[in-house]
C-alpha cells in the first residue's frame, strides 16, 4: 500500500459502512438542528454507561502496549486517552444535571450491553495489541468524525448541543485520533496476515456496534 496505510485501504474498501456510523441520522439531525431532545437525552444516558465500560478496555490496552509495543510513545498516547475519559465522566455528570437526567437510574439497553460485552471480549490477554489498538482507534474516530461534522461551516447545530459536539469534534481530539491511527497502522504493517484479518474483522464489528448504538436514540428497543 502507498501513503494511505492499511487503515486508509480499509476505509476505502468499507466506505459505505464507515459512513453509516459517522453520518448516522442521529448525527445528521443534530447538524440540521432537527434533533429531538428526548433522543439526545437517551443517547447521553446510554453513553455514560458505555464510557464507564470503556475504562477497563483502555486499561487492558495500556497493558498490551506495555507488553508488546516497541515504541514507548504509544503508552503516552493511550494514557492521554485515559485522562480524557476521566474528564468525560465528570462532563457526563455535569451534563446530566443540565438535562435533568438521573444517571444512577439508567438501565443499559440491549445494543449498549452487546457493545460493552464486545469490549469485554477484547480485554483478554490473548487478544493482540494490534487488534485492540485498531478497535480503539475506530471507536474514537467514529465519534470524532461524527461530532466534527456537526461543527462544520453552515451546520445548524442547536447551541445547547455545541458543548457535546466540541467534546469529540474539537481539533485536539482530531489530532489524538490521528496519533492512534498512526500507531494502529504501524502495528498492522508488521502484523501477520492472521492478525491483520482479525483486526479488519474487529473494525467492522465496531462499526456495526456504533450504528446500533446511535439507533438506540430512537428509543424503540
CA distance 122 to 105: 27
DSSP string, 30-70: HHTT---HHHHHHHHHHHHHHHHHHHHHHHHHHHHHHHH-S
Other beta carbons within 10 Å of 214: 21
CA distance 19 to 22: 5
Q: Give the one residue of 10, 26, 40, 50 binding ligand HMH; rule: CB under 6 A.
A: 50
Binding mask 176-215 for ligand HMH (x = CB under 6 A): ----------------------------------x--x--
Q: CB within 8 A of 127, min separation 6: which ones?
A: 64, 121
210 is catalytic: yes
Q: Which three cell numbers stand for residue 171?
A: 481539533
Q: Which of 95, 145, 200, 210 is catalytic?
A: 210
Other beta carbons within 10 Å of 104: 5
**Considering beta carbons, is residue 45 or 196 the nearer one to ligand HMH?**
45
Least Cβ distance, residue 148 to ligand HMH (angstroms):
13
47 touches ligand HMH (CB under 6 A): yes
Least Cβ distance, residue 114 to ligand HMH (angstroms):
11
CA distance 179 to 76: 11
Least Cβ distance, residue 124 to ligand HMH (angstroms):
20
Taking CB positions, which residue lies at the least distance from ligand HMH? 143
CA distance 166 to 161: 9
Number of residues that bind ligand HMH (CB under 6 A): 9
Binding mask 135-154 for ligand HMH (x = CB under 6 A): ----xx-xx-----------
Q: Give the one residue of 28, 51, 53, 161 binding ligand HMH; rule: CB under 6 A.
A: 51
Query: Which amino acids are annotated catalytic?
Result: 210
> For binding to ligand HMH (CB under 6 A), which residues are involved?
47, 50-51, 139-140, 142-143, 210, 213
Amino acid at each position: 500500500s502507498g501513503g494511505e496505510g492499511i487503515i486508509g485501504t480499509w476505509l476505502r474498501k468499507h466506505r459505505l459502512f464507515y459512513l453509516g456510523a459517522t453520518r448516522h441520522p442521529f448525527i445528521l439531525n443534530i447538524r440540521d438542528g432537527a434533533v429531538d431532545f428526548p433522543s439526545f437525552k437517551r443517547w447521553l444516558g446510554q453513553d455514560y454507561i458505555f464510557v464507564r465500560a470503556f475504562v477497563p478496555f483502555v486499561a487492558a490496552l495500556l497493558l498490551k502496549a506495555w507488553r508488546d509495543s516497541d515504541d514507548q510513545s504509544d503508552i503516552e498516547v493511550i494514557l492521554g486517552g485515559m485522562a480524557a475519559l476521566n474528564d468525560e465522566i465528570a462532563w457526563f455528570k455535569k451534563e446530566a444535571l443540565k438535562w435533568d437526567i438521573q444517571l444512577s437510574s439508567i438501565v443499559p439497553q440491549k445494543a449498549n450491553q452487546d457493545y460493552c460485552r464486545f469490549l469485554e471480549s477484547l480485554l483478554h490477554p490473548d487478544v493482540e495489541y494490534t487488534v485492540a489498538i485498531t478497535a480503539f482507534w475506530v471507536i474514537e474516530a467514529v465519534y470524532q468524525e461524527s461530532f466534527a461534522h456537526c461543527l462544520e461551516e453552515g451546520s445548524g447545530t442547536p447551541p445547547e448541543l455545541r458543548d457535546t459536539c466540541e467534546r469529540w469534534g474539537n481539533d485536539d481530539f482530531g489530532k489524538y485520533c490521528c496519533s492512534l491511527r498512526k500507531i494502529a497502522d504501524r502495528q498492522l504493517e508488521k502484523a501477520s496476515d492472521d492478525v491483520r484479518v482479525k483486526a479488519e474483522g474487529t473494525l467492522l464489528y465496531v462499526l456495526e456496534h456504533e450504528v446500533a448504538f446511535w439507533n438506540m436514540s430512537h428509543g424503540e428497543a
